[in-house]
Structure 1
């Protein structure tokens, strides 16, 4: 602002050349490429970074009311494309999926992933081969099918037993849920489950959940993703170093199981994801099928298959505390349809309120508010605007889930909004927690099955109540907002029914 109003503070008073240079620099900063989308430019050198606040998705949504659902936003010295409604997101990620399926190079994340795995690999032959292999292999080991359902139902017994051990006293359910959910993905990728007291298992789960549940750490990570240059300064550097070290420790633990698999490998009998990968590495001509890629792939699946579902279930429990009438309605439907019997995923067709509760949960507490960033692989047209090649694209899922043109009172938790006049569940295309297009979550079917079976099983066996020693209910609005929007720590009481 001083530069604009008093350029003589930077150049000798009366220096015409200095003033001209100042205004030329400002012109260069604020001017837009031809046919570029509108949007805020922010402050010279920093762009909008100081203006995003604690919840960038909400700030961007407010700006879109002025500039429209397709915005060009200056992040630092880069122009990001921000998509802010369902129509533009579908137009980009689905109808122009090839063009918008890239991943940008984010130094903070690259230090952790080393450009491997699946989630952050850029669009190209390696990603296509790995994505196809992952989708086919996960389906082959039962993900989204009856075989996987049986494993989840089996894990329910261990989960409920662990909850009962607290004997109705307040406790933090995070570790128990993380263990239960992790065991499902472990059965697929490692061919085994772990006891909840297993030290290696506890270490892996702890290091992954710590990266998401510490509010200070997640805020620092968020800032580093938007402005990677911050990683050169404390406390951002220390935070990223901790995340890198945690990822290395997890991969080192996973390496032990890869070595065990290699020692007993039989290409005619693929026991799990590791065996399938080792077999593919022998047969495929794609060079990305190597040991380093395998470790990063396992890490991606372990992380993605644990944290997202665990946090979704924790949000569900918070909703039960804040809206106790929903817990009553859930239990009534469970008693009517299932009674004391075994929970099955197929039961959901007869449980419209439960389905409505879960869909509203996905909408109300969007776990990945800005999804994962995309990148354009080539020059594109989006509506009337020209989008250059290699543009970073931010997808505001939170805005879709809170669009007042779609949802009445979007800030309220109302499962009934997903029921028609006859009480039937209505699936909404405007609830997209797993994103859309080729980059949507590869574990979506597993996650949906887990959330349904675990939630129904817990409500069937327990009544969840607030901690009687707390002065107020745990906060349901202010989560830890970093790589994901997850609940802060809270205690809960589980009363056996």
Structure 2
């Protein structure tokens, strides 16, 4: 009887221990020839050990594990590419093999398998990408006509700045209004007044979720989706979904207005072009109202926030490094004077402005880990085997801060992009819009906007720190989430 008692104790002890050992083995087990890297703790992986700026943590781990490493984010294995060579080998040399998008719960809930940015690599993505490129180009993106639209918006922006009467103000809202209106002009055929109710609401939603707090919540829900059942993530998750639904309602209303006034012989904008495709492809599920609404959301978000934040970082750099603003203005005055309107044709005569912009792109990487990729088949990179369906981070911040490429990468030095004769030197190691088949759809427009906006602003105003502030605005820190945008700050614009 005593023997049976000990047998029962033995079994009751061994089974839980065996289960724990099996769970630990499963957790730390990797696919064959997978890149090395930390595993973290069960259920959370390395999430608790990653700094607020996770791209910097991954870059530090490069010293121990190499430029290609794997980490457990939540319950999934992610591969991190930590230098230009590995990113180029993946996204360019094996572009189609790395062009997938991982299934991320919070993003799937937002997009419902539509749009473009988070659509997985498939025939639908190919057709939508091709349509987007051709249509945007057809309505002037990358062409001379687009300069006029940007310059028109510059005039509205400058008038708003003048209305501040030389008093300190936060430029974020009026700048985002101007930038958003450029893409909106292409998409809906006209600009919106800054006071327009729907337009203001769309801007407010963008600002909320690209702010520090909003971006962090989204990032955490991406990696640990079950947090949506736990306060305060539960509330934020619901709030995000409600805001996205409100955006889609606004887009739906705009689309209905277009359909009511549609003329197949007069394609006015992106929406009209899409409506034409819907009529041509009635049997196709690729061109639908829901797809168009999500496409508009992608274009509005990407076409508003990135250029706005890049310009805000540029102005912030001018406040911290006033000598750069002096050099920029001197170059502008020498090339076009105080009254001529800037054009992309002036770029070749403005090497310092080009160097300044490239350094802003490098110095403050907006999307440090890029939009996540996924392997569409089993691939090999730098001697490692990565299974099909593996999520991949491409660490753009690591490329922009690689000490093997950049001297003192933590310092802002536009001169690093000039040769000994003062000519601008384009660098393949500055890739803010990514590379490969899934690089940013609006790259040409964004580059044009940043150049024309900055030249116009420096030509007309001298930007100075808020005299009432004790210190200069924070240039080292920004929102700690998926997008690295500046913290709120005020400046003073003195008309020249």
Give the alignment's TM-score, normalised by structure 2. 0.96
Q: Given the alignment of the two structures, is residue 99 of structure 1 paired with residue 101 of structure 2, yes or no?
A: no
CA contact (8 A) 1:12 1:18 kept: no
* CA distance in structure 1 between the aligned counterparts of 2:98 and 2:268, rounded to whole angstroms: 36
Q: 2:202 aligns to what?
A: 204
CA contact (8 A) 2:34 2:384 kept: yes
Q: 1:342 aligns to what?
A: 341
Instruction: Classify 1:303/1:12 alpha carbon distance in 2 versus 1 (closer, same or farther; 3 Å).
Output: farther
Q: Once the two structures are superposed, what CA deviation does each residue of 1:271-296 show, in whole Å capped at 9, x if it has no partner?
A: 10000000011123531101111111
* CA distance in structure 2 between the aligned counterparts of 1:85 and 1:241, rounded to whole angstroms: 37
Within-5 A mapping of 1:14-93: 15=13, 18-93=16-91
Within-5 A mapping of 1:321-336: 321-336=319-334
Within the candidate set 208, 220, 237, 2:217 is matched to: 220
Shift of residue 75 of structure 1? 1.0
CA contact (8 A) 2:328 2:458 kept: yes
Q: Given the alignment of the two structures, is residue 282 of structure 1 paired with residue 284 of structure 2, yes or no?
A: no
Q: Once the two structures are superposed, what CA deviation does each residue of 1:221-276 show, in whole Å capped at 9, x if it has no partner?
A: 11111221212211112212222211111221122221111011111211100000
CA contact (8 A) 1:208 1:246 kept: no
Q: Given the alignment of the two structures, is residue 237 of structure 1 paired with residue 234 of structure 2, yes or no?
A: yes
Q: Given the alignment of the two structures, is residue 256 of structure 1 paired with residue 257 of structure 2, yes or no?
A: no
The Cα RMSD (Å) is: 1.5
Shift of residue 19 of structure 1? 4.3
User: What is the DSSP-based 3-state SS (H/G/I as helix, E as strand, rest coil) of the residue aligned with 1:485?
Assistant: coil
* CA distance in structure 1 between the aligned counterparts of 2:114 and 2:226, rounded to whole angstroms: 22
Q: 2:456 aligns to what?
A: 457
Within the candidate set 304, 307, 313, 2:305 is matched to: 307
* CA distance in structure 2 between the aligned counterparts of 1:32 and 1:293, rounded to whole angstroms: 38
Q: 2:122 aligns to what?
A: 124
- Tell me the number of residue pairs that the alignment of Structure 1 and Structure 2 aligns: 486
Q: Once the two structures are superposed, what CA deviation does each residue of 1:78-104 show, in whole Å capped at 9, x if it has no partner?
A: 110111100110111111111110011
* CA distance in structure 1 between the aligned counterparts of 2:160 and 2:305, rounded to whole angstroms: 19
CA contact (8 A) 1:360 1:415 kept: yes
* CA distance in structure 2 between the aligned counterparts of 1:12 and 1:175, rounded to whole angstroms: 68
* CA distance in structure 1 between the aligned counterparts of 2:226 and 2:326, rounded to whole angstroms: 50
Q: Which runs of 5+ in 1 are unaligned?
A: 1-10
Higher mean Cα deviation, 373-382 or 420-429? Answer: 373-382
CA contact (8 A) 1:126 1:286 kept: no
Q: Once the two structures are superposed, what CA deviation does each residue of 1:20-52 show, in whole Å capped at 9, x if it has no partner?
A: 544443233223221111111111332101011
* CA distance in structure 2 between the aligned counterparts of 1:21 and 1:224, rounded to whole angstroms: 29
Q: 1:3 aligns to what?
A: none
User: What is the DSSP-based 3-state SS (H/G/I as helix, E as strand, rest coil) of the residue aligned with 2:463?
Assistant: strand
Instruction: Classify 1:14/1:347 alpha carbon distance in 2 versus 1 (closer, same or farther; 3 Å).
Output: same
Q: 2:4 aligns to what?
A: none
User: What is the DSSP-based 3-state SS (H/G/I as helix, E as strand, rest coil) of the residue aligned with 2:96?
Assistant: coil
Within the candidate set 260, 264, 288, 1:267 is matched to: 264
Instruction: Classify 1:313/1:26 alpha carbon distance in 2 versus 1 (closer, same or farther; 3 Å).
Output: same
User: What is the DSSP-based 3-state SS (H/G/I as helix, E as strand, rest coil) of the residue aligned with 2:98?
Assistant: coil
CA contact (8 A) 1:76 1:227 kept: yes
Higher mean Cα deviation, 244-253 or 433-442? Answer: 244-253
Within the candidate set 136, 140, 146, 1:148 is matched to: 146
CA contact (8 A) 1:89 1:395 kept: yes
* CA distance in structure 1 between the aligned counterparts of 2:346 and 2:381, rounded to whole angstroms: 42
Q: Give the ranges of 4+ consecutive aligned residues of structure 1 lying more than 6 Å apart after TM superposition.
A: 11-14
Instruction: Classify 1:292/1:22 alpha carbon distance in 2 versus 1 (closer, same or farther; 3 Å).
Output: closer
CA contact (8 A) 1:108 1:225 kept: yes
Shift of residue 454 of structure 1? 0.4
Q: 1:468 aligns to what?
A: 467
Shift of residue 14 of structure 1? 11
Within-5 A mapping of 1:412-427: 412-427=411-426
Q: 1:403 aligns to what?
A: 402
Shift of residue 180 of structure 1? 0.5
CA contact (8 A) 2:52 2:481 kept: no
Q: 2:3 aligns to what?
A: none
Instruction: Classify 1:20/1:296 alpha carbon distance in 2 versus 1 (closer, same or farther; 3 Å).
Output: closer
Q: 2:5 aligns to what?
A: none
Q: Once the two structures are superposed, what CA deviation does each residue of 1:423-455 show, in whole Å capped at 9, x if it has no partner?
A: 100000000000011111000000000000001
* CA distance in structure 2 between the aligned counterparts of 1:154 and 1:482, rounded to whole angstroms: 33
* CA distance in structure 2 between the aligned counterparts of 1:342 and 1:25, rounded to whole angstroms: 66
Instruction: Classify 1:106/1:14 alpha carbon distance in 2 versus 1 (closer, same or farther; 3 Å).
Output: closer
User: What is the DSSP-based 3-state SS (H/G/I as helix, E as strand, rest coil) of the residue aligned with 2:97?
Assistant: coil
CA contact (8 A) 1:221 1:236 kept: no
User: What is the DSSP-based 3-state SS (H/G/I as helix, E as strand, rest coil) of the residue aligned with 1:481?
Assistant: coil
Q: Given the alignment of the two structures, is residue 170 of structure 1 paired with residue 168 of structure 2, yes or no?
A: yes
* CA distance in structure 1 between the aligned counterparts of 2:430 and 2:68, rounded to whole angstroms: 19
Shift of residue 13 of structure 1? 12
Q: Given the alignment of the two structures, is residue 190 of structure 1 paired with residue 184 of structure 2, yes or no?
A: no
Q: Once the two structures are superposed, what CA deviation does each residue of 1:374-405 show, in whole Å capped at 9, x if it has no partner?
A: 11111111121111111011111000000000
CA contact (8 A) 2:53 2:481 kept: no
User: What is the DSSP-based 3-state SS (H/G/I as helix, E as strand, rest coil) of the residue aligned with 1:495?
Assistant: strand
Instruction: Classify 1:12/1:452 alpha carbon distance in 2 versus 1 (closer, same or farther; 3 Å).
Output: farther
